[in-house]
Structure 1
Amino acid sequence: MGAALTVNIGAASMARAEVLLRWLAARPEDVFLLTETSAGSGTTYLLEAFRRAGYAVVKTPDGGERGAALVSRIALAGPPLLLPEVSIPGRVAAAGLDTTPRTWFLSVYVPSRDRSADKTARKELFIASLLKAVAELPAEQRGHLVIGGDYNVIAAGHTPPYPGFLSFEYGLLDTLSAQGFIDAYDHCFPAGPHPHSWIGRTGAGYRYDYFHVGAALTGRISGCAYLHQTRELGLTDHAAVRLELDLGAVRLPCRNPAEPEEIALF
């Protein structure tokens, strides 16, 4: 396996999904962790195009919620990994992949919030339940787990600092670190520069999108980068994040999902 990529697709409309599909189809990564999927036609089109092209697609039923999906040209090593204890199950999608060593990938889309008590409590419950679910995974899975997606939180040491975040939001990254997960970008660039993956209307930059890698895979991280082409091309308002991992892999015989499917004539 060469690399994985995570990107928030912003509940893509049909028109934007068509452009996103062409961009993703031209990418070299083996695994895509897509966040802010939706029940709309754009997400359906995107995921079905990958399925028809032979990719493995994992999408937890979301009940109309914004959610997450996993798309892989590496074969799944068994059924998708279920995390029903997560408070909003449709916001995670996980599976083991047929790599050497065996790895598990978890795509996650943490809810955003405003200042309302309801949305704050909803986000706090989701983060607590996600961290508990990850902590309770068997040690083998946890050590070989790759978590990626839009966490909708920043680190306590974020540059620039933003005072509006709450302790439970900082705690997501702190707890992952305490559980042995490595922030892939910080591992590759311990001295910076500090990346941003979402730029607000005022021009303020936030690092919301991440890859975290289980302790047993640390030595296999060979690169991590924030790709701003997705923002610059108008595909979404988030940068994508690319993670390079040195792993052996069994790949599926996929075709280009952006090309029309050939129909045999008899």
Structure 2
Amino acid sequence: MSGLRDETEQLLLLGETRPDRPMPGAFRILTWNVQHAAEKRSRTQAAWLAQREDADVLVLTEVGHGPGGLALAQALREHGYRVMEPVCAGDKYLTILACRLDEMVQVDVGMTVMPHRAPAARIATGRQAVVVVGLYVPSRGGPGEQRNVAKRAVQDAFAARLPKLIADSGDTPLVVAGDLNVLEPGHQPHHDVFGVWEYDFYRAFAAAGLVDAFRALHPEAVEHSWFGRAGNGYRFDHGFVSAEHADSIRTCTYLQEPRLAGLSDHAAMLLTLDFAAV
């Protein structure tokens, strides 16, 4: 990417698709890999998020541990969001949760491996609450003997916590959203580089009692949230909902506009849960 477009031009372009607010009782959760943006781009990202009337709950992954991440969190606060920034040590990236609803209270996931990549909160508006877990799994790679070590460690640790997360949530809906750096089995196109252990991580969500929200609504659709240099697409960004609350899933769509405008190399994913009619 060779520089950003003028910020005003970007927001005008992206604002053309800004939707109306849905019915009361809906939770609008937007997850987006922000590509460790520097300060200027972080502020533009926050402005784009704030002007979307459907972005009440944010799960932002690959937030840089440094000036860019600090600028993003501060800009979100200035736009009226409550922001949860986990303590990050020994890593370049973290996950941020933010909301502009009535309540956001931290929840302990119990992760002992890179917990700053998996923050959680109980988020409430009116009588309805949802437990939201943001997750950013390390990408593949690493030098020599360290290749894929961090990715395996985070996947194994989080998969082990999933059953307790479900149990602890009780009757409260649970959502896990973020850049999992994993593909579903049968992903189109197929990418040979991914191993059985990575597909098993995707399967762990269903085994624990969560539903892939996008697949629940779009069983056959081919959609991607990131594209490689050769133009091949990958659906890395996901939203999972506790199976007993799957009837509340109303929309789950990928927003390509911020990727095409150069705000990040990832599309955003928007998940809407509506409990008013459930």
Q: Please, what TM-score do these two structures have when normalized by structure 1?
A: 0.87
Percentage identity across paired residues of the two chains: 33
Q: 1:119 to 1:82 in 2, by over 3 A?
A: farther
Alignment of 1:78-89 (within 5 A): 79-89=105-115
> Displacement, 1:135?
1.6
Q: Tell me the number of residue pairs that the alignment of Structure 1 and Structure 2 aligns.
A: 246
**Separation in 1 of the partners of 2:145 and 2:217?**
38
Q: Hey, what does 2:157 align to over in structure 1? A: 129
Give the C-alpha shift of residue 34 in structure 1: 0.1
- 2:228 partner letter: G
Residue 102 of structure 1 aligns to a residue whose secondary structure is: strand
Asked whether the 8 Å contact 1:80–1:94 carries over to 2, the reply is yes
- Name the structure 2 match of 1:109: 136
1:206 corresponds in structure 2 to 234
What do you get for the CA RMSD once the two structures are aligned?
1.7
Residues 140 and 215 (structure 1 numbering): CA distance in 2 closer, same or farther, change over 3 Å? farther
What is the rounded CA distance, in whole Å, between the counterparts of 2:69 and 2:108 in structure 1?
21
User: 3-state SS of the aligned residue for 2:165?
Assistant: coil
In the TM superposition, what is the alpha-carbon distance from 1:243 to its structure 2 partner?
0.4
Cα offset for 1:101? 3.6
Write the mapping of 1:79-228 to structure 2, written as runs, cut at 5 A.
79-99=105-125, 100-114=127-141, 116-137=144-165, 139=167, 141=169, 144-192=173-221, 194-228=222-256
Which amino acid letter does the alignment assign opposite residue 113 of structure 1?
Answer: R
Structure number with greater CO (CA < 8 Å, separation at least 6) is 1
2:165 partner letter: L
Q: CA deviation at 1:65?
A: 3.0
Query: 1:75 Cα shift?
Result: 2.8
Larger deviation, residues 233-242 vs 67-76: 67-76
Q: Flag structure 2 segments of 5+ consecutive residues without an equivalent.
A: 1-25
Q: Is the 8 A contact 1:8 1:240 kept in 2?
A: yes
Question: For 1:117-143, what per-residue CA distance to the aligned partner results, in whole angstroms no more than 9, with x for missing partners?
Answer: 313122111101011122222525166
Evaluate the alpha carbon distance shift between residue 156 and residue 191 of structure 1 in structure 2; reply closer, same or farther with a 3 A threshold.
closer
Q: Which segment drifts farther, 107-116 or 139-148?
A: 139-148
Letter in 2 for 1:37: V
Between the aligned partners of 1:102 and 1:111, the Cα distance in structure 2 is 29
CA contact (8 A) 1:56 1:75 kept: no
| Shift, 1:191, TM fit | 2.5
TM-score, normalization by structure 2: 0.83
**Counterparts of 1:33 and 1:235, CA distance in 2:** 16
Aligned partner letter, 2:180:
Y
Counterpart code for 2:36: A
- Specify every segment of 5 or more residues in structure 1 that has no aligned partner in the other structure, as ranges: 249-266
Contact 2:137 2:155 in 1 (8 A): yes
Asked if 1 retains the 8 angstrom alpha-carbon contact of 2:27 and 2:57, the reply is no
